């Protein structure tokens, strides 16, 4: 068995991440994102099942441009890159492993159930906030957007406030 490499120093990783974000600003005039691309996938899925339903919704329509493939979108391609980059990094540092990541005392079933419901809550929240940790907290944070800072502080405050209830999942 090969031993996986240690993680990068957080401040070094932060500077690297900041430079990628800065590159996006300088080259494209826009920042990074994640939840928007996942919404495009949802909108395309709904449109495939029921085009009339998707076209009748102001929410889905925004992610379904008329004259082009909705998946040929900057954010969707960026997230496709994110998936590839994460995999390359995992290979590089020997961290690709089929596993369930959880605290030592949590069961797989409990962890997967909470991952699913946590995902539902997060997906919903990201839409209400018009973005996630990438598009709002990181990008909007660096652009000093008022709404992004309110979002970021709310995320941290809320996660700390509710951490007590999920302590058994992570211990």
Partner 1 sequence: MAPLFQYGFFDNDASLLIALIIGIAFGFILEQAGFGSATKLAAQFYGRDLTVFKVMFTAIITALLGMFWLGWAGVLDLSRVYILPTYLVPQLAGGIIFGIGFVMGGYCPGTCCVAATTGKMDGWIHFLGMIAGIALFGEIFPLLEPFYSSSSMGQVTLDAYFSVPYGVAVFAVVVIALAGFVVAERVERKLNSIPVAEK
Least gap, CB of 110 to partner 1 (angstroms)? 11
In 3D space, the residue among 153, 149, 127 whose CA is nearest the CA of residue 140 turns out to be 149
Alpha carbon distance 100, 108 (integer Å): 7
Nearer of residues 70 and 149 to partner 1, judged by Cβ: 149
Nearer of residues 1 and 98 to partner 1, judged by Cβ: 98
In 3D space, the residue among 1, 18, 2, 32 whose CA is nearest the CA of residue 134 turns out to be 32
Nearer of residues 41 and 70 to partner 1, judged by Cβ: 41
Least gap, CB of 65 to partner 1 (angstroms)? 12
Element of type H or E holding 7: none
Least gap, CB of 52 to partner 1 (angstroms)? 14
């Amino acid at each position: 068995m090969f031993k996986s490499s240690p993680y990068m120093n957080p401040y070094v990783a932060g500077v690297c991440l900041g430079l990628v974000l800065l590159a996006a600003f300088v080259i494209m005039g826009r920042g990074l994102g994640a939840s928007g691309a996942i919404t495009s996938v949802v909108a395309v899925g709904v449109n495939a099942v029921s085009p009339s339903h998707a076209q009748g919704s102001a929410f889905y329509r925004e992610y379904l441009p008329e004259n082009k493939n909705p998946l040929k979108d900057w954010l969707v391609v960026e997230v496709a890159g994110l998936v590839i980059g994460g995999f390359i990094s995992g290979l590089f540092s020997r961290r690709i492993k089929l596993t369930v990541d959880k605290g030592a005392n949590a069961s797989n079933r409990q962890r997967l159930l909470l991952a699913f419901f946590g995902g539902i809550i997060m997906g919903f929240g990201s839409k209400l906030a018009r973005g996630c940790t990438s598009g709002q907290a990181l990008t909007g944070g660096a652009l000093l957007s008022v709404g992004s800072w309110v979002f970021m502080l709310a995320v941290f405050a809320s996660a700390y406030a509710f951490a007590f209830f999920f302590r058994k999942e992570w211990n």
